[in-house]
Amino acid sequence: MKYKIALILAVTISAAHIAASDSGPVDRDLLPIELPGSAMPVVHEHTYKMAGRVRMLLLWIGRDDVGSGLIHWRKDGDSIAYDLLIGSDPLRAPGKLNRWGYLAEEVQGGECSVVGVMSKSSEEGLGQVKADIRNGTPARPFDTIRGRVTTHQAFARVTTVHASSSVTYREADAVLGLTLGDGSNGIKQIDRPSGVRPGFLSSMAEVIHQTVDAETHGRRSAPRTLPYVYGDRVYELRVLDVSPIARFEHAGKTYEHVIRGRFETGRQGRAGSRFELVYATRGALAEIPILIAYQPKWWLQVELTLES
């Protein structure tokens, strides 16, 4: 089904998307005032276990079970919504790393609304992470986005809010409350060109569904590029490579008939963030991500594995 898509990546990539917005004479009522899809029934739920590796001089040091991921798939008639929460646990992560993000998106009739939060970080290594903890910074910034994409236009407020530095992904509601209650100016409006998809999640859904459909019917998936709106800009989702795998073993489990895909997202004509997905082509897990791998920092690698 098309609503079974890979969502975890959105949070990890959204930090690269966020940019400063300009004020404009835009009606604030266009932006969502509640979490997209929150009133819709949940049709699927999956949890993920996070493993991480940090670079120490010339060596990579890894640790399993350093955080969690949770995805809800929602559907009501023709409306589809997704919400996900991913974060590291400072009680288990190397250097007490506390990084997390949330993203929710609702799509209906080619239009969508989106709300997202990402803990902001600029560390250049694990040593700086530890130094920030020792300094006891009382508050930390979070990049936030509230957006609405219509048939021909897109509106977004991309701002920064501050919350306690001790807030983890388990207290996401506190930061989301600040995000939804933000009444500041800074709403930006852009045109949505023809052929541009309304959001990152729906673009991933389209790519994953098409690659699974091609594999199921014995066709070869050709690399392609999908433009999409995120916040106040247009980005590209690039399919770098998709490879079918008859048997995939990972974390003590075996999966039959999967696809390993490599993707990149970024502005047109520019290099972007790369990530990998492994997702099933058949059965109850069709189009559900089994493994997600990405490298948000040069010194940090993250891997998310399906747990339930």
> Where along the chain do its domains lie?
8-306
Q: Report helix, strand or coil for 173.
A: helix
Residue 55 CA, chain-centre distance (Å), reads: 23
Q: Report helix, strand or coil for 171.
A: helix
Q: Judge contact between 115 and 46, C-beta under 8 A.
A: no
Taking alpha carbons only, the member of 37, 26, 96 closest to residue 63 is 96
From first to last of its 308 residues, the chain has per-residue pLDDT tens of 433 333 334 444 444 454 434 444 556 678 999 999 999 999 989 999 999 877 766 666 678 899 999 988 899 999 999 888 999 999 888 778 888 999 999 999 999 999 999 988 755 545 555 555 555 567 889 999 999 999 999 999 999 999 998 899 999 999 999 999 887 778 999 999 999 999 888 889 899 999 999 999 999 887 799 999 988 899 999 999 999 999 999 989 999 999 999 999 999 999 899 999 999 999 999 999 999 998 877 777 889 999 97
What values do phi and psi take at 99, rounded to 5?
A: -130, 130
Q: What sections of 111-241 are H helices per DSSP?
A: 126-135, 172-180, 200-216
Q: Judge contact between 72 and 83, C-beta under 8 A.
A: yes
Q: Is 108 exposed, middle or buried (0-12, 13-18, 19+ CB in 10 A)?
A: middle
Q: Is 208 exposed, middle or buried (0-12, 13-18, 19+ CB in 10 A)?
A: buried
Q: What is the pTM of this model?
A: 0.83
Q: Judge contact between 11 and 103, C-beta under 8 A.
A: yes
